[in-house]
Amino acid sequence: MERLASQNLLSNLQRNLSLWREVQVVRDTLSKASVAAILRWKERKSDTLQLLFIRRADNEGDAWSGQIAFPGGRRQIKRSAEALKTNHSEDWETSRETATRETFEEVGLKLDEPNVHWIGQFQPIRTHLRSLYVTTEVFFVDEPAEDRNTVFTVQPKEVADVFWVEVKELYNSDRYHHLIWPMKTYFEKSVGFPFLGRLLHRIIGDMIVPCIYLPRPCSKVQSKDDCSITRHQSDYVLWGLTLTAVLKIFEAADSPLSFPASPFQFTSRCGASLLSLHRLCRRPSVFLAIAVSAGFFGVQAFLSRVFF
């Protein structure tokens, strides 16, 4: 990405997000969270734009264990001294306040300093958990890495690593891949019975999702095959909710990534068919979806009897 393109990207993002109203927080909203997308220049001459990511700590039972993300978390209630006396008033954080607090708690970076500018925010994204809505708050650190070597204070229980990625790497199509996400453990925990979970896994299969292989932050593990060797889900792979947020950021900057808009799939034919049925049923033509699915399984059964 050339210098002028990077500068235009940042100015377009600032202009377009300034046109959107800040999302207000309703009182009964424990189901809402906020994350901080933080940009900065690498050099004084504003050549290389960087974006901050974290890799979440590996915690059993955490739905986002080991995943690449932006710093952030759930919103909390602010209690003023007067409210604590009366014990009847609740004041929720704004989305921006949540992102600011969580970023400081997780990586020790202060977003309320004079050299940090809030650019804007996006409409909340609903997670795969359905009950959680996440708002992306965008910030710009107006101090290049050459002038300030940021030292992060990581919360080890929540964050395994924090690192900057050059934006131009996100435009490198060699980094665009698909990730196979193992679903066996997920099914076993969801169903509650290991046997039924294993059976469901055999029927549905594992999940295939589009992803971006990020540059690994440690130079010791960099190699010429950095983009070509298959990675597992905890090996600096950008996917899911955070990938969706990244795509929205560059769309808003009028510089969309050339990332293929392919939805997730399952590895088994049965899982793929059920997923297609689900997607069709979300549209008005529910009966068509049922007919297509029934026809598929009918033809499959017929061919199995005739040829196998």
Between CA 111 and CA 96 the distance in angstroms is: 10
Same domain, residue pair 150 and 129: yes
Same domain, 24 and 53: yes
Does 239 lie in the same domain as 273? no
Nearest to 34 by CA among 99, 91, 93: 99
State the pLDDT at residue 236: 93
Domain of 308 in residue numbering reads as 269-308
242 and 296 co-located in one domain: no
CA Rg value for the chain = 22
Contact 76, 98 (CB under 8 A): yes
User: Could you tell me if residue 180 is inside a domain?
Assistant: no
Same domain, 274 and 164: no
pLDDT of res. 265: 87
CATH of residue 56: 3.90.79.10
**If you write DSSP's letter for every residue of 67-104 in order, what string do you get?**
-EE-SEEE--EE--HHHHHHT---EEPPHHHHHHHHHH
- For the chain of 308 residues, list the mean pLDDT of each consecutive stretch of 10: 76 88 52 92 88 92 83 84 52 90 96 94 79 91 85 92 95 93 82 85 90 82 67 90 95 92 83 76 50 46 43
**Does any domain span residue 188?**
no
Reported pTM: 0.82
Residues 59 and 105 in one domain: yes
Same domain, 110 and 70: yes
93 with 135, same domain?
Answer: yes
* Spatial CB neighbours of 239, under 8 Å, sequence gap ≥ 6: 67, 68, 179, 209, 210, 211, 212, 233
User: Looking at the 3D structure of the chain, how many domains does it have?
Assistant: 2
pLDDT score at 129? 56
Across-strand partners of 53?
163
CA distance 286 to 299: 20
221 within a domain of the structure (yes/no): no
How far lies 180's CA from each of 53, 160, 212, in Å?
Answer: 21, 22, 13
